[in-house]
Structures are given as C-alpha cells and as structure tokens.
C-alpha cells in the first residue's frame, strides 16, 4: 500500500452536494440543473425530517449515491435500532457523532453488519462550526486538531469506516491513520465566499490536496446564482491540485 498521504485522493476526491434546502422541489430543481455532475448528494436533517425515507429512494433513483447525514447520537441500543430501520435504504454513507463514544459506534457498526447493509458509517469528530471557544464551552479542552484526532482514533478503533473533520485536520489524519480511512470534509469555501457559521474552512483545492476523499459543499453551490458554473469551477480547482 502506498505511503503517499494524498494517495487516497488521486482521482477520488468527490464533491458531495449538500441539499440543504427546505423543499424536495427545490432539491430536484438543483439536481436537474446540475444534470449528471454530482455522483453523490447529501440529504441532511432539513429534508429528511420533512420527507423521510421516500426522498432517499427518490433521489437515489436518479442515479446519485446518498450520503444521509443524521449525525446519530444516542445510547447504543437506540442508535443500533435506528440503523436497522435505515438498512433497507440505498445509503452509501451515514453519519453518527463520535462524541457518542466507542460503545455507540461499535453498536452502530454491528447493527449495519447484522442487516447486511453496505452503508459506510462515518463518525463526526469536531463540527466545523466549532472553534476552541465553542469546544471549551462544552468541556473540550484541547484544540480542534487534537480533539478531532483523538475522536477519530477512538472512532476508527470502534469500527467507524471513516470520519468527518475539517480540512485543517486532514493532513494530520493522513499522517496518523494512513491512506485507508474515508475522510469526508465539510467547511469548504471557494475563495471569496463568506464563512457564515463555519469556523474551520479551506478552499476546495487545499482540502483535496491535503488528502480528503470527499468534500461536502452546500451553500457555495446551492445558493449560487449559477450552481453549474460554481460546480464546474470547483471541479477544475480540485483537478488542478490533485493531478
């Protein structure tokens, strides 16, 4: 296996479009405009709490892989049963919170295995909207980089297939865990785009170069006047930095 920390990204840094919109018609409209560009889209709490599993099936039937971002965080028994309830759906990636701890993560992976589902389970480390001040307010005393690394180590050992972290931590993750783990990276901001509520951000090119496998991009694409133009510019930026 290659020791090149960017090996995992060669030809493999996919864009995941976060469909953070209020209505399924709006999500469909964006996907129609983007045509067959996105190979994977994210359905998060905003759409899933409104439309549930039927929307997952409808969007998957268009040929897109589905990243279902529910960030499950509960006692192991409850998370395991939630995963059993989701197992029949065409889900590629599913999020749980790393802060749920190793027993919860293990229960999630075991539930997935029991059902025969092939979904990959990703542990969210430190949300990209958090900085040191926010972490300290919930009793986390280390830096985002240290905290994310600590949670990632625990989560991967407990059976997570990959992790969600900011691009600022990706290089450290690759040094620590090698080329195997899936590294899904939100907090992506093309240069000049406002951070909004995100605290730990990087440009698409920097994030891809660091070794991310997937970049989760919401507002810069879905709120753009011309989402196709922005999507294509991001694709070119990634290609230029990872070739």
Q: Work out whether 164 is an interface residue with ligand OMP (CB under 6 A).
A: yes
Q: Work out whether 99 is an interface residue with ligand OMP (CB under 6 A).
A: no
What is the rounded distance in angstroms from the CA atom of residue 165 to the CA atom of residue 171?
11
- Residue from 9, 117, 128, 172 touching ligand OMP (CB under 6 A): that is 128
Residue nearest to ligand OMP (CB): 218
- Ligand-binding annotation for 100, yes or no, is no
Write down the catalytic residue from 39, 74, 120, 153: 74
Active site residue 131: no
Sequence-separated (6 or more) residues with CB below 8 Å from residue 144? 126, 130, 131, 132, 135, 166, 168, 169, 200
Active site residue 4: no
Shortest approach of ligand OMP to residue 68 CB, angstroms? 10
- Ligand-binding annotation for 55, yes or no, is no
- Ligand-binding annotation for 76, yes or no, is yes
Active site residue 69: yes
Helices 144-157 and 170-177: angle between axes, nearest 10 degrees: 40
Binding to ligand OMP (CB under 6 A) within 32-71 occurs at 44, 69
Shortest approach of ligand OMP to residue 126 CB, angstroms? 7
Which residue, 3 or 216, is less far from ligand OMP as judged by CB?
A: 216
Which residue, 76 or 220, is less far from ligand OMP as judged by CB?
A: 220
Write down the catalytic residue from 69, 145, 161, 209: 69
Tokens at 6, concatenated: 């960017």
Site string for ligand OMP, 213-242 (x = CB under 6 A): ---xxxxx----------------------
The string over 156-183, giving b where at least 16 C-beta atoms fall within 10 Å of a residue's C-beta and e elsewhere, is bebbbbbbbbbbbbbbbbbeebebebbb
Sequence-separated (6 or more) residues with CB below 8 Å from residue 92? 40, 65, 66, 67, 119, 120
For 9, list phi and psi in degrees, rounded to 5.
Answer: -95, -15
Per DSSP, the three-state class of 175 is helix
Calculate the CA dihedral of residues 154, 13, 172, 177 and round it to 10 degrees.
Answer: 50
Name the residues that contact ligand OMP, by CB under 6 A.
18, 20, 44, 69, 95, 124, 127-128, 164, 186-188, 198, 216-220
Catalytic residues: 69, 71, 74
């Amino acid at each position: 296996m290659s020791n090149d920390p960017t090996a995992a990204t060669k030809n493999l840094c996919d864009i995941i479009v976060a469909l953070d919109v209020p209505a399924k018609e709006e999500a469909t409209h964006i996907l129609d405009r983007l045509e067959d560009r996105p190979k994977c889209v994210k359905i998060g709490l905003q759409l899933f709490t409104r439309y549930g599993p039927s929307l997952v099936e409808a969007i998957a039937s268009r040929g897109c892989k589905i990243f279902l971002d529910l960030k499950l965080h509960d006692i192991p028994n409850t998370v395991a049963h939630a995963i059993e309830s989701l197992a029949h759906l065409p889900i590629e990636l599913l999020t749980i919170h790393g802060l749920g701890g190793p027993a919860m993560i293990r229960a999630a992976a075991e539930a997935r295995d029991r059902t025969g589902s092939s979904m990959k389970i990703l542990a969210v480390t430190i949300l990209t909207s958090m900085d040191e001040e926010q972490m300290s307010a919930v009793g986390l005393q280390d830096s985002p980089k240290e905290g994310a690394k600590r949670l990632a180590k625990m989560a991967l050992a407990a059976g997570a297939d990959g992790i969600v972290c900011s691009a600022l931590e990706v290089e450290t993750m690759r040094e620590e865990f090698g080329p195997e783990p899936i590294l899904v990276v939100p907090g992506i901001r093309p240069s000049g785009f406002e951070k909004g509520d995100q605290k730990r951000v990087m440009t698409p090119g920097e994030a891809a170069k660091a070794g991310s496998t997937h970049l989760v991009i919401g507002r810069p694409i879905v709120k753009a006047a011309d989402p196709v133009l922005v999507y294509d510019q991001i694709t070119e930026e990634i290609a230029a930095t990872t070739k």
